[in-house]
Copies of this chain bind each other. A is one copy, B any other.
Amino acid sequence: MKKPVPYTSHLAPHLRAIPFLKTPADSEMVVLTDRQREDLARIGLRLRLPARMTIYREKASADWVFAVAEGVVKAYRELPSGKRVVGAFLFARDLFGLAENGQYTNSAQTITPVTLYRLPITELTVLLKHDANLQFKFLAKVTHELRESQRRAILIGRRDAAGRLAMFLEQMKGRCDPLSVHEEVPLPMTRSDIAGFLGLSLESVSRASAELERRRLVKFDGRHLARILDPPRFAKLVATV
């Protein structure tokens, strides 16, 4: 006997993006309808993965697209020189695994324990071509990620390590669990990951952290939490590109 599955709020995919058009508040909201979330949940599989687990590797056959329900994932690339460049950190309501010619362009690895939705690309394609409104939300999401990537490119263009790190903290602010206070920025990733994301060496990230503390802008509580002590001066440093 089959009973309709109750797709409660935390049991179906969601997306987060700033829409194209002007909205009252400029909040990050591309809300899926319950029906769309059901459809996605129907074709997808809910997965729980432990921390530090590789989800897929660059150039592997791209059979799925993933949506993060909870936890943090990094998308990275191994360069011929052996360096690891982190292209993005993915949080709840983010999307990853977009392919090029049937192959993943990045590797993906969990940072924390993660819950994700694994959507088969072929079925997703069918669904998107059938539901143009859902697809429009995916379009907005990918566009959002494009802007995010451009922002990172600007970030990397900065000369000073402290400024880069500050910009990074600014970006992380609000991307994580909404329950956190705005002056407290959780940093689930390692310094190494941050270095890979900022295009700095591990040591430079460490020195930049020390400098931000010395200037009384930020206090690091352990390795995984940054507390912004002086928001105005911090914002000024961030803006001084």
Contact = CB atoms under 8 A, between A and B. Distances in A.
Interface size class of A (residues with CB under 8 A): 35 or more
A9 interface: no
A95 to B, nearest CB: 10
Contacts of A136: 125, 128-129, 135
B153 A102 contact: no
- Nearest 10 CB-CB pairings of A with B: A22-B102, A157-B199, A132-B132, A149-B149, A79-B241, A146-B146, A129-B132, A153-B153, A26-B101, A156-B156
Given A21-B99, A138-B139, A149-B153, 14 more contacts: A18-B100, A20-B99, A20-B102, A21-B121, A77-B154, A79-B241, A80-B239, A80-B241, A85-B154, A98-B143, A128-B136, A135-B135, A152-B153, A156-B157
A66 B153 CA distance: 23
Copies in the complex: 2
Interface in A149-204: 149-150, 152-154, 156-157, 199
Contacts of A85: 153-154, 157
A241 B84 CA distance: 11
Contacts of A103: 22
A34 interface: no
